[in-house]
Amino acid sequence: MNKQRLFKGGDIASEDSAKLQRGDVLVEGTRITRVAPNLIAPPDCEVIDCTGKIILPALFDVHVHAREPGQEQKENIRACSEAAINGGVTGFVMMPNTLPAIDNAGVVKTVLESAARCRIPIYTSGAITKGREGKELAAIGAMKAAGAVMITDDGFPVANPVVLRRAMEYARDFGLIVASHCETMDLSGKGAMHEGSVSYSLGLEGIPAISEEICLDRDIRIAQYTGAHIHIQHVTTARGMNTIRRFKEEGVKVTCEVSPHHLIFNHEDVGDYDTNYKMNPPLRTREDNAALLQGLVDGIFDVIATDHAPHTPFEKNNDFASAPFGITGLETALPSLHHYFISKVKLGWDLLVRRYSAEPRRLLGHKAVPVIEGGAAEFIVFDPNADTVFDRDFIKSKSVNTPFLDKSMRGRVDMVIHAGDLLLLR
Amino acid sequence: MTPRKDLLDIQSLTDEELDFILTNAVPFKNLFKRSVKKVPTLRGRTVLTLFYEPSTRTRSSFEVAASRLSADVINFSVNTSSVVKGESVLDTISTLEAMRTDYVVVRHGMSGIPNLIARNTTASVINAGDGFHAHPTQALLDVFTLKEVFGGDLRGSRIAFIGDIQHSRVARSTNLLCRRMGMSTAMLAPGSLIPRDTPPEIAAFTNWDQVFAWKPDVIYLLRVQMERQNVPFIPSIGEYHRIYGLTDERLKRVRDSGIYVMHPGPVNRGVELNDSVMTYERCLINQQVENGIAVRMSVLYWLKPGSVEGTGS
């Protein structure tokens, strides 16, 4: 496509500046060819008015459950990719807890074939152990050769430290990131939510914070010992976060992520057993919300990731203990982060761009996609003054298990541009 | 008073509603002294009991309460032997909807099941005990009993709960309601059976001497769960009884101090109490059972099936 488009009058966000820069953006083919104020549109150029809107690099999510193969009633790769686009995300990494698990080169190839039919690039992780059973190493080298970008048994920890040690020693030499879902299963037991005052009053078995913190500490120490790159998924507690901070200061190759829901919600939001607030790790306390947000500002968290986890209404319309863990997130992440934090000046656009666009891409060894002359045309047009209502018509995911269902958030993704193509125009 | 569809927990009751239920239980209890104990209040209405946990006492109490109000009572037979999840409960509920039941009395081993049912039926749902969550009619009958004993005003009275606080819905509901009535509450249990983050206004003790020093007016004994996930909470029943049980020596101190004893039943002799407690003159266990019927009649009388407002906390 050699079509020219001029995005006129918007304010451009970048990871390097807390201030937005007024600028017109000229796109030719797959590249941004000019960025400057008051550009004159060339002949035959489509002009798109972006007055009052924000232009920011498109987002990238390193933690997504696309449910394919095996659980297509919840989600499939195609629907998941459309959900991503709907939320301004132009690339993501799939988790291997499918049926069967993505634990060998054959399944990696299969899901990547499905992914190749989507409008955005989609990457996959592979399992650390066969069937994610925590016993025997999966075909890590073969999966890497087939295109897997990280390994994880996400949904479960690798309970046996010897298995994790071997996996890290092995994966290290393939340059694969080992991503950890940190949980001490015996301590979690049958817990359904954070162990605390709310689990007490609702009479639900709790998942204590130490279940996560002990495993997190253990996994980073094994990474330190083996020299592997460990990525801690969905950190939820202040204490766990501070453990990561300390190991980072020691120079351990540890990166970590925080999810929007752990920043926004806490265990009090579970209310009347609302299963759209049930996920693993669970929502913690109000104090943890504040600490995690500060950690994001301080740069402890490398990336924001949603842990998009679709489930059907039938599965979620269950008693709290029996309903599955997980909520969707791809479509709600940016508007909700804007609504709760950016519009209230608790987070800057630079931080959002760094943590949900640039750093996730760099984590996979890709380049960031700043909105600059000569850069890739990979950006979002976001209207900070419009509202998004997350009703069934809006949601492109096959599932609607989100606390934001039928709620309104300030801010709306109006356009998504990927490789020069206008993937979304609202 | 706004019409209320369900009784799911104590938290969601207003003071006015509490007063209504407790006040109206008095005339219902007075009926029991008459030869004809029945009133036509709920004639033509259907009360269905749905017990996923075995319970003879609570179930019979509801049955008697409903029949004394002239309601038709149906025991819906469900599987109590295995874990029945919410999704299967909802299937049952859709069947019951077709039967146009007015009241559903439900007991289930999982917390929140009555809330789930209440959201999915127009019938009035009464929680007869769910998981560790709530047992509101037990709390109401306990407080009704205490009011009889202490003459109406419970402010300043002291009640100590002893036993498995962690796994007791009674400890949660009755304790909460006692505090709402202005009582001071305390708890004693092995550390492994005390939940984290209990409300700070509940005094937490580690031995009986502390409980006696606190000068309770009432001791409320609870049953004990031995283990979960194959990991025991306590070394043995014998040790529990010696350290935390109401032994004969402790009963002597209880008697000397004029302390009342309550228990939600059924009791475990040789565990949380000794047989001699059952003949103790200030043991309120049988009074609790009798009052349970009156209070449950009052609850049935108060609830309004089909009202849209008020589905719990």
Q: Which of A200, A208, A319 sits opposite B86 (nearest CB)?
A: A319
Domain end residue (candidates: A343, A363, A383)? A363
In a domain, A282, yes or no: yes
B84 touches chain A (CB under 8 A): no
The pLDDT, as a whole number, for residue B196 is: 87
What does chain B come to in residues?
313
Residue A31 is part of a domain; what is its CATH number?
Answer: 2.30.40.10
pTM metric for this prediction: 0.94
The pLDDT, as a whole number, for residue A310 is: 98
Together in a domain, A255 and A404: no
Together in a domain, A321 and A391: no
Residue B115 structure tokens: 């809330």
Together in a domain, A44 and A181: no
Please state at what angle helix B136-150 crosses helix B57-68, rounded to 10 degrees.
80
Together in a domain, A175 and A47: no
The pLDDT, as a whole number, for residue B96 is: 82
Residues of chain A with confidence (pLDDT) below 70:
1-2
Together in a domain, A192 and A252: yes
Residue A357 is part of a domain; what is its CATH number?
Answer: 3.20.20.140
**Hey, are the CB atoms on A317 and B90 less than 8 Å from each other?**
yes
Together in a domain, A329 and A194: yes
- Give residue A14's domain range: 4-55+373-425
Q: Work out the pLDDT band at B91, boundaries 50, 70, 90.
A: confident
Together in a domain, A402 and A258: no
The pLDDT, as a whole number, for residue B81 is: 62
In a domain, A368, yes or no: no
Together in a domain, A358 and A409: no
Q: Which of B85, B134, B311 sits opposite A203 (nearest CB)?
A: B134
**Hey, are the CB atoms on B229 and A190 less than 8 Å from each other?**
yes
The pLDDT, as a whole number, for residue B312 is: 42
- Indicate if the pLDDT at residue B311 is higher than 50: no
Amino acid identity of residue B33, one-letter, is: K
Radius of gyration, alpha carbons of chain B: 19
The pLDDT, as a whole number, for residue B313 is: 38
Together in a domain, A23 and A75: no
Domain end residue (candidates: A338, A363, A388)? A363
Average pLDDT across chain B, whole number: 93
Together in a domain, A172 and A318: yes
Active site residue A307: yes
Together in a domain, A47 and A73: no
Q: Work out the pLDDT band at B56, boundaries 50, 70, 90.
A: confident
The pLDDT, as a whole number, for residue B95 is: 85
In order of their start, the domains of chain B are 15-136+290-302 (3.40.50.1370), 138-288 (3.40.50.1370)
Domain end residue (candidates: A317, A340, A363)? A363
- Indicate if the pLDDT at residue B58 is higher than 50: yes
**Residue B80 to residues A349, B51, B107, B109, B264: CA-CA distances in angstroms?**
55, 7, 10, 9, 20
In a domain, A47, yes or no: yes
Q: How many structural domains is chain A composed of? A: 2
pLDDT tens figures, B110-155: 999 999 999 999 999 999 999 999 999 999 999 999 999 999 999 9
- Averaged pLDDT, B180-207: 95
Dist CA A92 CA A306 (whole Å): 10
Together in a domain, A258 and A401: no
The pLDDT, as a whole number, for residue A33 is: 97
Residue of chain A nearest B199, judged by CA positions = A197
Q: Work out the pLDDT band at B229, boundaries 50, 70, 90.
A: confident
Measured between beta carbons, which residues in chain A are less than 8 angstroms from residue B202? none
In a domain, A128, yes or no: yes
The pLDDT, as a whole number, for residue B309 is: 52
B196 touches chain A (CB under 8 A): yes
A322 touches chain B (CB under 8 A): yes
Q: Which of B133, B196, B311 sits opposite A202 (nearest CB)?
A: B133
A323 touches chain B (CB under 8 A): yes
